[in-house]
Amino acid sequence: MRLNRTPLVLALFLSLFVALCIVPGISPAYGASKEMIQLQTQVDQLQQQLTQMKQSFDERMGVMKSLLDQNTDAANKVTAAINGLQASINKQQQDRSGQVDQISGQIQALNDTMDELKVRLAKLSKQFEDMQTAQQSMAAQQAQAQQQAQAIASAPAPDVLYNNALRDYNGGNNDLAIQEFNDYIKFYPNTDLAGNAYFYLAEIQYKAGDYQRAVTNYDLVLQNFPSGNKAASAELKKGFALIELGKQDDGEQELKHVIQRYPRSNEANQARERLRKLGPAAPKSH
């Protein structure tokens, strides 16, 4: 608020004039007049107004200062609250970031565990499948063994079955002989006569011109019964069958092996004769 300074200056001038008039030893040229008294009265009133104005100004300034202090305190409190809130927000964000990292780590660990469980489950499934396959195989083997046991129990005696097959073979009943030799191999695969049965089956196939199947059965004699009484004949006839199949080199090797292994046998003589007809010189007997 701006104040009018003119009354203040006038009041100061009048106060100075009055003071000079009342100084001891100095007498005014004129006596105090009524106007001077009125003027003095106005000066006093102005001084009172100035005092009141100054007091009111001071009071207002005090109120304003108090309000300013209050506003400052409030602002400081608001600032502190904002700072605290910001710090809380930052902390929450950090905590959330830490929680997110922790949760991400937990999720990754769960994924790793899940992958490991999948691998274990796959292994267990494979083991279970293998066990089922083994169980089914064992069940099939047991069923087959039971069938074989039942068949053997109902089958003719080995000597009877073999003699019947050999009789039919010699009699030219090849179909019946084939069935009987196969039955003998089926029921009695581990006997010495089983090698003979394979040999006679091969002989029937050789005579029928089925040289490839004949070679297979001759091989079964040589592989499963290498010391049987049909081994030399099986190797000789295998060589003949290979030659008939156009595999002359392989057939000659089989015949040469017969001569080397059984040099004084009838099969060795037959091998030499066949080799002689083929051209190369046959090994001599000792």
pLDDT, tens digit (0-9, with 9 covering 90-100), for 121-135: 888 888 878 888 888
pLDDT at 239 over 80: yes
Per-position DSSP letters for the chain, written without gaps between them: -----HHHHHHHHHHHHHHHHTSTT---SSPPPHHHHHHHHHHHHHHHHHHHHHHHHHHHHHHHHHHHHHHHHHHHHHHHHHHHHHHHHHHHHHHHHHHHHHHHHHHHHHHHHHHHHHHHHHHHHHHHHHHHHHHHHHHHHHHHHHHHHHHHHHSPPHHHHHHHHHHHHHTT-HHHHHHHHHHHHHH-TTSHHHHHHHHHHHHHHHHTT-HHHHHHHHHHHHHH-TTSTTHHHHHHHHHHHHHHTT-HHHHHHHHHHHHHHSTTSHHHHHHHHHHHHHSSPPPPP-
Q: What is the pTM of this model?
A: 0.49
pLDDT, tens digit (0-9, with 9 covering 90-100), for 165-222: 999 999 999 999 999 999 999 999 999 899 999 999 999 999 999 999 999 999 999 9
